[in-house]
């Protein structure tokens, strides 16, 4: 077990270094089945609670849009439909709350509640999102608009994590603040490029 975990860590670190070397994401990890993972449907869960809760709807919207533009998954459930399902079904909402709480406590995808979420949303996969930054700040003497995200792709049929990534994007400005949602859109497009399923070769 230890040697397998060690191999996963080494392969993940190698992948991070490779992607960093070619201008990729800050952090990325692929599970052993990521290269052959080809779900036909996906939903973006409401982003996990953070100090940037005001950005949750915008982030869910831009990620769903990025998935649709990428075109590797046949059906992307709209954020509105995801919200409707959680509002209409106490069981689905309870599964979401339990899934998030277990993820916060253990850092692992709880398989049973993940499968329940997949069934409630009628999808083969879902995307877990955390907003790490959504703000205007001073950075190295410049004014910047900054958006940062962590993403986790989960196989909703088994409850296992297939892929994880973290990245950030900043746009500098002098007088007119850039739209954080537009920065998020660019960031989402960039991150989704690295997410399974990759186009068939």
Secondary structure (H, E, C), the chain: CHHHHHHHHHHHHHHHHHHHHCCCCCEEEECCCHHHCCCCEEEECCCCCCCCHHHHHHHHHHHHHHHHHHCCCCEEECHHHHHHHHHHCHHHHHHHHHHHHHHHHHCCCCHHHHHHHHHHHCCCEEEEEEEEEEEEEEECCEEEEEEEEEEEEEECCCCEEEEEEEEEEEEEECCCCCCHHHHHHHHHHHHHCCCCCCCCC
Is position 54 within any domain? yes
- Give 199's pLDDT tier (boundaries 50, 70, 90): low
Is position 50 within any domain? yes
- Length reported for the chain: 201
Is position 141 within any domain? yes
Question: What is the spatial distance between Cα 123 and Cα 63, in angstroms, rounded to a whole number?
Answer: 16
Is position 17 within any domain? no
Q: How far is CA 167 from the centre of its chain?
A: 10
Domain count, the chain: 1
Q: What is the pLDDT of residues 44-66, one digit of tens each?
A: 999 999 999 999 999 999 999 99
Q: What is the pLDDT of residues 116-159, one digit of tens each?
A: 999 999 999 999 999 999 999 998 889 999 999 999 999 999 99
Question: What is the spatial distance between Cα 36 and Cα 73, in angstroms, rounded to a whole number?
Answer: 13
Q: What is the pLDDT of residue 200?
A: 56
Is position 1 within any domain? no
165 is in which domain, residue-wise? 26-192
Is position 107 within any domain? yes
Is position 5 within any domain? no
Prediction pTM value: 0.86
Q: What is the pLDDT of residue 140?
A: 84
Is position 12 within any domain? no
Place of tokens 């850039």: 178
Q: What is the CATH number for 178?
A: 3.40.50.10610
């Amino acid at each position: 077990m230890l040697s397998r975990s060690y191999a996963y860590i080494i392969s993940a670190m190698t992948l991070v270094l490779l992607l960093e070397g070619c201008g990729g994401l800050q952090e990325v990890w692929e599970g052993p089945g990521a290269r052959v993972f080809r779900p036909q449907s996906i939903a973006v869960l409401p982003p996990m609670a953070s100090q940037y809760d005001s950005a949750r709807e915008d982030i869910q919207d831009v990620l769903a849009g990025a998935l649709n533009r990428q075109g590797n998954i046949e059906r992307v459930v709209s954020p509105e439909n995801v919200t409707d399902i959680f509002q209409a079904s106490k069981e689905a909402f309870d599964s979401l709350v339990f899934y998030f709480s277990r993820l916060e406590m253990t850092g692992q995808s709880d398989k049973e509640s993940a499968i329940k979420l997949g069934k409630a949303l009628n999808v083969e996969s879902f995307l877990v999102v955390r907003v790490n930054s959504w703000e205007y700040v001073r950075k190295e003497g410049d004014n910047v608009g900054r958006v940062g995200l962590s993403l986790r792709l989960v196989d909703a049929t088994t409850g296992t994590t297939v892929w994880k990534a973290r990245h950030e994007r900043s746009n500098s400005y002098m007088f007119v603040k850039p739209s954080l949602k537009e920065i998020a859109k660019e960031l989402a497009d960039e991150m989704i490029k690295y997410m399974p399923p990759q186009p068939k070769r």
